Structure 1
């Protein structure tokens, strides 16, 4: 799919009249990320040392932006990633709608052959357009999107909050970006990400436009 949302780089926003700008960032690294262990909504892990350094780098690169609020998931890896902003007084609100997808029976398991086979079967179904398919005991993209849209309805209702930080999770971020940009979930994997990847979106009151695709400039300094 050759969609403008998948083009790396930034949109020229000088002539845009956005009512709201979202800065959507993935949490920093955890030991589960580093060691290849499944980490979804059901695993509440801490950042490791590298993750805290990534969070600090993100803060120092974006602290100049006049953020009105930071929203996180209810999982502490997102709280810890945004802690430098929160400790400086930025208004913070947790929202379960931004939690990671629940990987069900695979939660906490290393990515070995049985888990890989399970992932391949389910994610292939998503690519084929079966968005109600889920892992045993887990969630489907449709279920995740439903709770995300409820969270976004709340965020968009706060007209006084123009510059908004949202810290969340990799798979959930992909689903959210598809939902906000009206892209079918089958294309979600095109939204690549690493720990503390940043996507920026502008909202004109009717629709979203992707401004920044997978920025990691804060880690290059």
Structure 2
């Protein structure tokens, strides 16, 4: 097969991002004004590419981030496997290092290799990885889709990149993310490789 090119982006900014409030899969927030500007700049930079399909999570902030491409009439599929990790009881709350030892304690457990740990009512990285696998099976068995755009969420993106590159989930924080950042990934039919890492050049203010 020819090389499949996957343009993997995180959604644009929301007011929850600015306020430091945990969103997760249970908070269906929308983009704020800055997030819509980010989406418009990404669209302006990449609208020329011949995308065969656009994939998003089921949360509106991902769909809004690629709305320009959907307005072109490109085929679109939503997958719950792309949803953000569930942070359980902490969704919708503000998290700071000083105020929430439990939250940061779980993050430390993940870094130390305990990727089955979770916050009360939430998901573990292992559970997120499991629900992503049907999506991975889908995109790897559709050779006719040579160029695809995938919009998802920060923590879930880290888990997905670990799976693509066969990294242990404990290494997921190696994959940094920002609102509307791009990872460009190539798939040869047997191997995934990252060709562009945390690309935000498209977000720069016009000269």
TM score, norm. by length of structure 1: 0.90
1:1-221 to 2 correspondence within 5 Å?
18-112=2-96, 116-220=100-204, 221=206
Deviation at 1:114, TM superposition (A): 7.3
For residue 213 of structure 1, give the secondary structure of its aligned residue in structure 2. strand
Secondary structure of the 1:166 match is strand
How far did residue 206 of structure 1 move?
A: 0.5
| Unpaired segments ≥5 residues, structure 2 | none
Shift of 1:119: 1.9
What's the CA shift string for 1:126-180, capped at 9, x where partnerless?
Answer: 1111111111100000000011111111122211000010000000000100110
How well do the aligned residues superpose, as a CA RMSD in angstroms?
A: 1.3
The alignment of Structure 1 onto Structure 2 pairs a total of residues equal to: 205
Following superposition, the deviation at residue 40 of structure 1 comes to: 0.3
Q: Name structure 1 gaps, 5 residues minimum.
A: 1-16
For residues 115 and 33 of structure 1, the distance between their equivalents in structure 2, rounded to whole angstroms, comes to: 17
- TM-score, normalised with respect to structure 2: 0.96
Which runs of structure 1 show a deviation greater than 6 angstroms over 4 or more consecutive aligned residues?
none
Q: Indicate conservation of the 8 Å contact 1:69/1:92, yes or no.
A: yes
Deviation string 1:54-88 (CA, Å, 9 cap, x unpaired) is: 00000000011110000000000001001010011
* In structure 1, distance between residues paired with 2:189 and 2:99: 42
Counterpart CA distance in 2 for 1:20 and 1:86 is: 20
